[in-house]
């Protein structure tokens, strides 16, 4: 039984589920858009690959006891006792995003990004994403940036207000002005218009509908325990509020 959240389901932010949610939402939005923006435009799923050097696990500072044989073998010198540590390994990350392309010319008109945790914390992934983001903001391409993650550092904009989540719509012909939709856990996910070229009618994006499609298609009800706090956790006050929500069967 799933609580009937008015907007974002915080259980979808679990890092163990987010890869599925992210990929599923990009795919759902591509299918939705291609029923409305064709034949002039096409929504294409693109892939970005990162290689991050990171530490895996938590260092174990337990001092090992030397065996009797090790002690005897140390007669010729002092045996230094080691601690267990971790060393960096390279992890490859693949992230999907959408490009809205003009079918006649192949020109990219709009890029739609759904942020991942690595886009919001220190590391090579964030650095590369931020570089791409700035290049888009300096170009003639529209940018839609969807942030459905409470953790990490929000992307930089002037005039923003604190919020759990946010959607940025940056039209190339209106920069540096952009539209920001901040919202919190207890609020509905705002609907917004997907920017295209100036003369075109812009489709409405309903992210809540898209997330519900992802939830059903990925059978996420079988992977979530709603009797436990979400990961990352919400405040005690919000958790108590969640207990009052009606349930979906």
| Alpha-carbon gap, residue 114 to 42, rounded angstroms | 18
| Alpha-carbon gap, residue 177 to 44, rounded angstroms | 27
| Alpha-carbon gap, residue 142 to 172, rounded angstroms | 5
Over residues 123-138, mean pLDDT: 91
Q: For residue range 49-107, list pLDDT tens digits in order.
A: 766 555 444 433 334 344 454 455 555 667 788 888 777 666 666 789 999 999 999 99
| Alpha-carbon gap, residue 224 to 230, rounded angstroms | 9
Q: For residue range 164-207, list pLDDT tens digits in order.
A: 999 999 999 999 999 999 999 999 999 999 999 988 999 999 99
| Alpha-carbon gap, residue 10 to 187, rounded angstroms | 12
Q: For residue range 99-128, list pLDDT tens digits in order.
A: 999 999 999 999 999 999 989 988 888 889
Q: Which helix (H) or strand (E) holds 21?
A: helix 15-33
> Which domains does the chain show, CATH number per domain?
2-54+87-248 (3.90.1570)
Q: What's the confidence (pLDDT) of residue 86?
A: 76
Query: How many other C-beta atoms lie within 10 A of the C-beta of residue 116?
Result: 25
pTM of the model: 0.83
């Amino acid at each position: 039984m799933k609580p009937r959240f008015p907007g974002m389901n915080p259980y979808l932010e679990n890092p163990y589920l987010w890869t599925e949610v992210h990929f599923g939402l990009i795919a759902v939005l591509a299918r939705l858009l291609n029923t409305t923006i064709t034949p002039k435009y096409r929504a294409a799923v693109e892939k970005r690959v990162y290689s991050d050097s990171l530490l895996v696990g938590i260092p174990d500072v337990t001092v090992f006891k030397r065996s009797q044989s090790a002690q005897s073998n140390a007669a010729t010198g002092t045996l230094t006792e080691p601690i267990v540590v971790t060393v960096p390994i390279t992890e490859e990350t693949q992230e999907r995003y959408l490009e809205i392309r003009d079918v006649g010319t192949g020109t990219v008109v709009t890029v739609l990004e759904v942020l991942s945790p690595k886009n919001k914390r220190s590391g090579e992934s964030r650095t590369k994403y931020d570089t791409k983001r700035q290049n888009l903001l300096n170009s003639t391409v529209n940018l839609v940036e969807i942030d459905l993650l409470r953790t990490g550092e929000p992307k930089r904009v002037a005039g923003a207000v604190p919020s759990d989540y946010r959607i940025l719509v940056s039209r190339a012909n209106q920069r540096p002005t952009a539209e920001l939709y901040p919202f919190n856990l207890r609020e509905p996910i705002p609907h917004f218009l997907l920017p295209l070229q100036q003369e075109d009618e812009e489709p409405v994006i309903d992210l809540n509908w898209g997330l519900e499609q992802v939830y059903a298609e990925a059978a996420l009800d079988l992977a979530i325990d709603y009797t436990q706090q979400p990961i990352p956790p919400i405040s005690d006050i919000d958790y108590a509020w969640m207990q009052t929500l009606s349930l979906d069967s």
